[in-house]
Structure 1
Amino acid sequence: MADIATLRRQCWLFAVGSSLFAVGTAPGFTAVAGSGATNALCFVGSWFFTTAAWMQLRLSERGTAWWSSAIQFAGTILFNVSTGASVWAHTVHGERRYVWAPDATGSLAFLISGVLGVIVVGLWAPRSVDWQAEWINLVGCIAFGVSAVAAFVTKAGTTEDIGLANLGTFVGALCFLVAALLILPGRRGLRPRPAPPSSTAPGPHRR
């Protein structure tokens, strides 16, 4: 099992998952392909994220980096629930309880994970690839946090700001994609190295 978890696989899984989320929430995509296609892409993408997060947890050393990865992994499971529920939950109660609630909780988990990751790499080391990836990742986590707030479903069944919710997910997914590619072993001739403490996390789907 230990051989399955590698930094290269982790990065590619995050990259594929991020790409699926970015396509699914890209401006205009839902209008053309329909909400069903958006929900399906995000649901599939969430499983790429969960697998990548599991690998990152196995590769992380004990300490702050491990907690960052563990909290991130918990968040990805919540997004599996949220994106899965978005496929079948068509009632106000279902959307509030099974889509938005785990979505918001998962977004909070990512924010905590992202902050812990930044603590590990430090506040200022711009020449470090790990530092660059962590801060880009944190920007993505913040974008998802904004998206979660905007995606709140009222008792009347309306979303607070669906445009902002989708934009936050789209921007966050792009940030996670860039962060994953930055730490990809072999990029620009870089030699493979131990898994960094980054929490290159996926983002939730916003309906």
Structure 2
Amino acid sequence: MHRERWMGLCFAAGSACFLVGPFPGYADLVGPQAAALTFFVGSILFTAGGALQSWVAYDQGDAARWSALIQSAGTLFFNVTTFRALSTALSDPQYDRLVWRPDAFGSICFLVSGVIAYRAAPRQWQARVNLLGCIFFGISAVAGYVVPATGSILDLAAANWNTSLGAACFLVCAIATVRESSTVREAQGHPTA
């Protein structure tokens, strides 16, 4: 498989994790430890996809390169927060609180990356859908803010739904990338597997 296809597959699998992870009832079904693991695995897959995207974008111009690098930085912020949530869930067998909340710095990186990609290709539907996903993740980060005075989250339902909606946008783009890379490889006479 070539880089674009691997990139798309990593983003698709990571997106699937973030799509189902905050879905109502998921943590009740699998338990908080498995739910925390879902987010952590998703963040690692996003990071792998981001690294491949940075590699692919290296020769595609400044906008593509900066968008990929900033998005990759955002995935690293998600790695930290998902690892922290996983560590907490694994160290406390009675853990029954929120498994993960969106990372503000990672979400900001995603928004900046999405804007750069959109400005570089405003007519491409993938740039629009990707930016929409970044906006949903940004809303999720704001809704997931923990109010210091009370220790409660602003709006847990909004944080969860916006995380899932953002992940759905990213999943659509990732599947399109996998399909397009397969079509290009076949047109060039290369096997897709």
For the aligned pair, the TM-score class normalised by the smaller chain equals 0.7 to 0.9
TM-score by length of 2: 0.82
Q: Which residue does 2:81 correspond to in 1?
A: 82
Q: In the alignment, which residue of structure 2 is the partner of 1:40?
A: 37
Shift of 1:184: 1.7
Correspondence for 1:178 among 172, 176, 179: 172
- Distance in 1 (CA, whole Å) between partners of 2:131 and 2:40 is 22
Higher CA-based Rg: 2
Q: CA deviation at 1:25?
A: 1.4
Distance change >3 Å, CA 114–CA 28, structure 1 → 2 = same
Q: Which residue of 133, 147, 150 corresponds with 2:140?
A: 147
Shift of 1:5: 6.5
TM-fit CA distance, 1:88 = 3.0
Deviation at 1:185, TM superposition (A): 4.2
Kindly tell me: are residues 175 and 87 of structure 1, through their superposed partners in 2, closer, same or farther at Cα, counting changes over 3 Å? Answer: same
Distance 1:109 1:71 in 2: 6
Q: Distance in 2 between matches of 1:5 and 1:71?
A: 23
1:68 Cα deviation (Å)?
0.4
How far off is 1:166 after superposition?
Answer: 0.7
Kindly tell me: are residues 186 and 148 of structure 1, through their superposed partners in 2, closer, same or farther at Cα, counting changes over 3 Å?
closer
TM-superposed deviation, 1:164: 0.7
Which residue does the alignment assign to 1:106?
Answer: 106
Contact 1:11 1:181 in 2 (8 A): yes
In structure 2, what is the Cα distance between the partners aligned to 1:175 and 1:81? 23
Contact 1:150/1:162, CA 8 A, preserved across alignment = yes
1:88 aligned partner, one-letter code:
S
Of Structure 1 and Structure 2, which has the larger fraction of its residues in helix? 2
Taking every aligned residue pair, what percent have the same amino acid on both sides?
38
What is the Cα-based RMSD across aligned positions, in Å? Answer: 2.1
In the alignment, what sits opposite 1:165? 159
Q: CA deviation at 1:113?
A: 0.2
Aligned to 2:130: 137
Aligned counterparts of 2:88 and 2:135: Cα–Cα separation in 1: 26
Deviations for 1:80-112, whole angstroms, at most 9, x for unmatched residues? 00111112348xxxxxxxx76x81011000000
User: One-letter code of the match for 2:134?
Assistant: C
Matched positions, count: 173
1:7–1:185 Cα contact (<8 Å) kept: no
Q: TM-score, normalised by structure 1?
A: 0.77
Structure with more relative contact order (C-alpha pairs < 8 Å, separation 6 or more): 1
2:69 is aligned with 1:70: yes
